[in-house]
Amino acid sequence: MTQASSAPISTPTSRATANAAAVPGAKTPAASAAPIPAIRAEIEKRFAGRPPGQWGIDLPGIVTHTGSRAVALTFDACGGPGGSGYDAQLIDTLRRLGVPATLFLNARWINTNPSLSGELASDSLFEIGNHGLANVPLSTTGRSAYGIAGTSTIGGVIDEVSGGASRIVALTRKRSLWFRAGTAFYDETAVQVVSAIGFTPVNFSINSDGGATFPPGTVAAQLAAVQPGDIVIGHMNQPGSGTSAGYAAALPAMIDQGMDFTTLSLTRIPVHPRIV
């Protein structure tokens, strides 16, 4: 694992859209709200009445590439009913091959797997990213993705982001700079709110497992298409899926080809001031 170059980050509308197979989450009762940051009133006033703008996974302000030749593997753990499993074979493969990754943990997944979350957070091969409080799309108008209702107000966006952040601070004793919304969908104003409260929205340029729905051969084929600078999404909460077998098949060849893997914090992706 090497530190990435200082090339500027890009957020092109490229393979992120072409690889936008479903990244589903489970619809669950609302999680309890985290403490509201002191900056909340200022942010709500700043964005009050602003139209939502575009809706999607690859919008201005969302990072989809590392800005270097290094590849960042990222894995979501969505939590909730049907989403709180653990793909031990996937994590074992990463450890056996020494491949780093950023693990986006939802607060519900952490709450269901507290000891395991602590173990992963203490492993220097991994870093922990913020996958929100309730794993819902990030909307300022209540828009849905994959049948999952999103947040509906500026305050709801703040709660979803800061609630997940608070749970990660409690787990790791440090703040994660990286945020990914449930389903990976945002509206443009929500993206701006995430940045305003001090986080960097991260999505992907390669969808490796289609929300843990692809069979192993398809996962391996998606990984075979990875290019330097890609951010790759997968899922670590569905042990019955084809994800782990697909990665086990594809990663050795990627390593043999000299591909450099990194965590997000070892890239040169610009980050936002830590406010919450």
- What are the Cα distances from residue 249, in Å, to 44, 206, 212, 255? 47, 17, 16, 11
Is 159 among the domain residues?
A: yes
| pLDDT recorded at residue 271 | 72
Is 196 among the domain residues?
A: yes
Structure tokens given for 182: 């449930």
Burial class (CB in 10 A: 0-12, 13-18, 19+), 83: buried
Residues 6+ apart with CB under 8 A from 39: 197, 275, 276
The whole-angstrom distance between residue 254's C-alpha and the CA centroid of its chain comes to: 22
Its pTM stands at 0.87
Domain of 245, in residue numbers: 46-266
Residues 6+ apart with CB under 8 A from 37: 158, 162, 197, 275, 276
Is 30 among the domain residues?
A: no
Alpha carbon distance 84, 211 (integer Å): 14
Is 97 among the domain residues?
A: yes
Is 35 among the domain residues?
A: no
**Domains contained in the chain, number:** 1
Is 78 among the domain residues?
A: yes
Alpha carbon distance 106, 103 (integer Å): 10
The domain that holds 61 is classified in CATH as 3.20.20.370
Is 102 among the domain residues?
A: yes
Mean pLDDT for back-to-back runs of 10 residues, the chain (276 residues): 32 33 34 54 94 98 95 97 97 98 98 98 97 98 97 97 95 93 98 95 98 98 98 98 98 97 87 54
> Any idea which residue has 């589903």 for tokens?
24
3-state secondary structure labels for all residues of the chain: CCCCCCCCCCCCCCHHHHCCCCCCCCCCCCCCCCCCCCCHHHHHHHHCCCCCCCEECCCCCCECECCCCCEEEEEEECCCCCCCCCCHHHHHHHHHHCCCEEEEECHHHHHHCHHHHHHHHCCCCEEEEECCCCCCCECCCCCEECCEECCCCHHHHHHHHHHHHHHHHHHHCCCCCEECCHHHCEEHHHHHHHHHCCCEEECCCEECCCCCCCCHHHHHHHHHCCCCCEEEEEECCCCCCCHHHHHHHHHHHHHHCCCCEECHHHCCCCCCCCCC
Is 147 among the domain residues?
A: yes
| pLDDT recorded at residue 37 | 55
| pLDDT recorded at residue 273 | 56
137, 78 Cβ separation under 8 angstroms: no
